[in-house]
Amino acid sequence: MSFQLPPPPPSEYAAVPASRTGERPRLGRVALLAVLLSVIAGFAGGVIATQLDQVSSDSGDEAYTQVTAAPVVSDAQDDDASAVARVAQRLANSVVTISSDVQNGLSEGEATGTGVVVTSDGEILTNAHVVDGATEVRVRFAGDTEPVVARVLAVDAGNDLALLKVNATNLVVATFAKPGSVRVGDQAVAIGYALALDGGPSVTTGIVSALKRTIFTDSGALNSLIQTDAAISSGNSGGPLANMRGEVIGINTAVARGDMNSAANNIGFAISVDEVLAVLQQLRDQAAGTTREEGFLGVSLEARTDGGVGSIIGTVQPDSPADTAGIQVGDIVLAVDGEPVNGQAGLVAAIRDQNPGDTISIDLVRDGERLTVTATLVARPKE
């Protein structure tokens, strides 16, 4: 089955890039930020000075009496911490910063991302794009001053996940939420080393804005994504999106970027826990030397141009699982196993994680009528 990816939609989606250092353009941006901050500070100082002069001139010759008092100090205890603070505390020792020496062509630099501890003996999950092109990967745990070298055990670029391993014991393991437990409107907390700033990870909060999103990045299609309005920035890649119980509901991976024709604000994406747990096992199998075969359906798709959802079946290979299931040219594919199909690559993403022998249900529209067919996948033919 071969597909041609469509051009990107008006709002482009981008994998959240790891924060990179050692490059002159970044220094320029830092310098510009410093100038802007100084201008703002200078402006604020001028306003304050003007206000003080105005108060002084209006007060005449009246004597000024300074009143002093002891500052008010809160007596709140740790058990009064906000729900977001408790989530951050629960995950503090399970979130790590990842530094990679990256070489892309003649360019060299350091990339910084985030990872989540998944086993007490050193397995760490992160985004594949965090370690892409890395010649060395290092991990630093909360409270430590020195990093430790990590091995990249396995990478799934299609699902943008990678499994690392460090020599360690008694690590604090993150707890993952039960698959299927995430709901639209749930509060969410994103944790990660945004912009590689000094100190601990950044914590932002928002809600689950949508479920089962499919987007297109430079690496292809990502499906089964959680959309959130919690702020996600460069360096957050590979970090957890958590619920208010401190359970990981997703791995932060991408943000929406506006262009000249559309705006995109507070739209971030995380790989859902349902997908993460399935791919994690596949990564472990890959690390153990097991070669995984992908499922194959046997169709090509065409994009809809009438404003409707789904994709149109362009061709059906004879004697393929699609042919056996009764799928016809012109059928409109809406979903696979309940996963919406958006664009040509949506179907690729929907069946990519299926195995040969798996039976999938496909929601179709044919001649204005909706129907569901089942297809049993086979192994993808060798190219």
Shortest CA distance to 155 belongs to which of 129, 120, 175?
A: 129
In whole angstroms, what is the distance from residue 189 CA to residue 173 CA?
18
Are 358 and 295 spatial neighbours (Cβ–Cβ below 8 Å)? Answer: yes
| Catalytic residue of the set 19, 100, 156, 160 | 160
In whole angstroms, what is the distance from residue 113 CA to residue 96 CA?
9
Let me know if 129 is a catalytic residue: yes
CA angle 80, 240, 115 (to 5 degrees): 120
| Catalytic residue of the set 209, 224, 234, 237 | 237
In whole angstroms, what is the distance from residue 57 CA to residue 54 CA?
5
| Catalytic residue of the set 99, 129, 274, 353 | 129
Using CA atoms of 299, 127, 192, 257 in order, give the dihedral in degrees to the nearest 10. Answer: -40
Let me know if 101 is a catalytic residue: no
Residues 6+ apart with CB under 8 A from 99: 110, 111, 112, 137, 138, 139, 140, 147
Secondary structure (3-state) at 215: strand
Are 353 and 279 spatial neighbours (Cβ–Cβ below 8 Å)? Answer: yes
Using CA atoms of 35, 40, 41, 43 in order, give the dihedral in degrees to the nearest 10. Answer: 120
56 CB-contact burial (10 Å; exposed 0-12 / middle 13-18 / buried 19+): exposed
For the annotated catalytic residues, the residue numbers are: 129, 160, 237
